[in-house]
Structure 1
Amino acid sequence: MKTLFLSIALIVVSTLGFAQDSKGQTITVTIENAKNDNGKLLVSLNTKDTFMKGAGIQNAESKIKDGKATITFENVTPGDYAIMVLHDENENERMDFEDNGMPKESYGMSNNPRSYGPPIYEDAKFTLTKEDMKLSIRL
């Protein structure tokens, strides 16, 4: 009986001693410069595999107040990511385009690159370390 109790105690202590905090990091994104407060902002956290291919690994939306909004992604594992933001003015859950192919609605990405063409992952990529991160994205 004494051996059983000691074995259980040893297992519990070993488990507690080697337990690691599995909580990931937090990314707080402030979106600025929306041209109006109509509609909502759709924000996606992407890996290279999900960038421009539908939903990201985490997705969020926010109403806009005074041209700004803040979104928080929690429990994010350190690594390389890119964030995309769409100002969905008509709330149809997708980007709308002019007849000539130009976007009707504003969008932005992490690192705030100015590109003349489709978004590129490498331009928007950032590395999340073991520290929480704050980003600002302009539309």
Structure 2
Amino acid sequence: MMTSTLVAAALMAAAASQAIAEDAGTTLTLEIGGVAPSRGVVMIGLYDSEAGWTSGSAVTGARAEVDGDHVTAVFADLPAGTYGVKMYHDINANGEMDTNLMGIPSEPFAFSNNARGRFGPPSWEAAVFELSADGTVHTIRFE
């Protein structure tokens, strides 16, 4: 499925780039549950606009090592505002989202607000959350 390939490519690119705004100052902590214990990595893309969400242009990303069934990822020095998260659990740590013969992801994926899409990622409106100036803890769970 082309959508899963685009999501995987965007997340890989996001994890490779760590461009964070210099005039920022708040912290986003992601508490990620439902992780297959002690296997692989979680690839995370962080988006700050609907345009970025739709095009797959993450503002930053992270690769979080899995050590147990829960992962914590921290993004520091972010400007307060609205954000969305796309992520997948790269169980075999091969650096890409694996899919079946029909292009459907065969590795777990999740979005902020535990939003669900139909035949692709959820809408920005379903996934967006507020990062306050005091910092935010956002919980996401792989289903």
- TM-score tier, shorter chain, comes to 0.7 to 0.9
Which of residues 113, 126, 130 in structure 2 aligns to 1:127? 130
CA contact (8 A) 2:31 2:73 kept: yes
Tell me, yes or no, if structure 1 residue 110 matches structure 2 residue 112: yes
Are residues 61 and 52 of structure 1, via their aligned partners in 2, closer, same or farther at CA, if it must alter by over 3 Å? Answer: farther
Q: Percent identity?
A: 27
Displacement of 1:52 in angstroms is: 5.3
Q: Contact 2:45 / 2:85 at 8 angstroms: preserved in 1? A: yes
State the one-letter code of the partner of 2:137: K
- Separation of aligned partners in 2, 1:54 and 1:115: 15
Q: 1:54 to 1:34 in 2, by over 3 A?
A: same
**Structure (1 or 2) with the larger CA radius of gyration:** 1
Match of 1:50 in 2: 52
Give the alignment's TM-score, normalised by structure 2: 0.74
The answer (yes or no) to whether the contact 2:39–2:67 under 8 Å persists in 1 is no
Residue 23 of structure 1, CA deviation: 4.1
**5+ long unaligned stretches in structure 1:** 1-21
Q: CA deviation at 1:127?
A: 1.9
Report which stretch shifted further, 112-121 or 125-134.
112-121
Q: How large is the RMSD of aligned CA atoms in angstroms?
A: 1.7
| C-alpha displacement of 1:65 | 1.8
Q: How many residues align?
A: 118
Q: Which has the higher helix share?
A: 2
Tell me the SS of whatever aligns to 2:83. strand
What amino acid is aligned across from residue 109 of structure 2 in structure 1? Y
Structure 1 residue aligned with 2:27: 26
Structure 1 runs of 4+ with >6 Å offset: none
Unaligned runs of 5+ in 2: 1-22
**Aligned partner of 1:42: which letter?**
M
Tell whether the 8 Å contact from 2:36 to 2:68 is kept in structure 1 after alignment: no
